[in-house]
Amino acid sequence: MPPLLKCLRALDDPTRLRILALLGREELSVQELQEITRLGQSRISTHLGLLQEAGFLSSRREGKRTFYRAATPAEPALKELMNLAARGAAELPEAAADAANLRRILAQRRQQTRLYFNQVAGRFDRSYGPGRSWQAFGQMLLRLLPPLVVADLGSGEGLLSELLALRCKRVIAVDNSPKMVAYGARKARKNGLANLEFRLGDLQDPPIAAQSVDVVVLSQALHHAEDPLRALRSAHRILREGGQVMILDLAAHRFEQARELYGDLWLGFRESDLQQWLETAGFHKIEIQVVAREEQPPHFETLLAVAARPG
């Protein structure tokens, strides 16, 4: 066993307690620890080095990546220290978020097809190809939609609702602005979209019957809700069994001007918040990931969260 003082010093940091607690639950790579804790790679590597020197961690190589896990020491003193560290980590304010992000990362592991999509998406803009664009791809993929009933909550003037109505069985667009609802309804009539209905209402309590839709969409709308959890509970209420909620929204940011410029109540969301709210609302099969990053300041990131109502 390393000197006791060295072990105590290794545990004398909240971040190292967080890391040790996570690695006590699951073997993780540095990249996965970054995703969970939102800390930089160099900082995590430093903490991992100190914990490993003190005998609290073991590691293994797999290709170019190193995976870490909590050690299983034989010395009773080291075991006692690790138990105390786990109890201390549970009292940290980041404990709930770390646990939620760990669940999210483990779910991503099970979705290996996502890795392939990320590789394809990463290559998409590297070279120019005439006629090749996300707009064109979107129109093509739109044709694959089955005849679903969709609720677009916080729809605004209904741009997304119109696109969905081209293929879906029925689309119900809900917004709390009478002007937006009137404008969207007029445009739907003008374009002959008889299957697109606009309703005035709050996305936190939409005027839609329980278990009547197949998909609920919240596209850049949830950050306008005073109570996002209430909105997600309502989404669960109106979904049929096996139905899905799809959320596109900003990742947590510090662009305070968004409150005045766009009327945002929330400056984006942390993945852990969305994970916990969706779980509390009764959803399962939760997947959350960053799907877009803006190159220009303030470098907004867009999150896509998808979850299902149990069938």
Bridge partners of 28, per DSSP, are 68
Domains recognised in the chain with CATH numbers: 4-95 (1.10.10.10), 113-308 (3.40.50.150)
**Res 110: pLDDT:** 73
What pLDDT score does 160 carry? 94
- Please tell me the predicted confidence (pLDDT) of residue 129: 66
pTM more than 0.85: no
CB 224 within 8 A of CB 264: yes
**Alpha-helix runs per DSSP H in the chain:** 4-10, 14-25, 30-37, 41-53, 76-90, 95-109, 113-124, 134-142, 159-165, 178-190, 228-238, 258-262, 271-281
Tell me how far CA of residue 28 lies from CA of 73, 83, 255, in angstroms.
Answer: 19, 19, 32
pLDDT of residue 237: 98
Answer whether 239's CB lies under 8 Å from 213's CB. Answer: yes
Per-residue pLDDT of the chain (311 residues), as tens digits, is 578 888 899 999 999 999 999 999 999 999 999 999 999 999 999 999 999 999 999 999 988 889 999 998 888 888 899 999 999 999 999 999 999 999 999 988 876 555 555 665 656 666 666 776 777 877 888 888 889 999 999 999 999 999 999 999 999 999 999 999 999 999 999 999 999 999 999 999 999 999 999 999 999 999 999 999 999 999 999 999 999 999 999 999 999 999 999 999 999 999 999 999 999 999 999 999 998 999 889 999 999 999 999 98
Query: What pLDDT, on a 0 to 100 scale, did the predictor assign at position 126?
Result: 62
- Predicted confidence at residue 138, as pLDDT, reads 79
Helix (H) / strand (E) element for 251: namely none
Q: Please report, for the chain, how many H helices and E strands are present, in that order.
A: 13, 10
pLDDT value at residue 183: 96
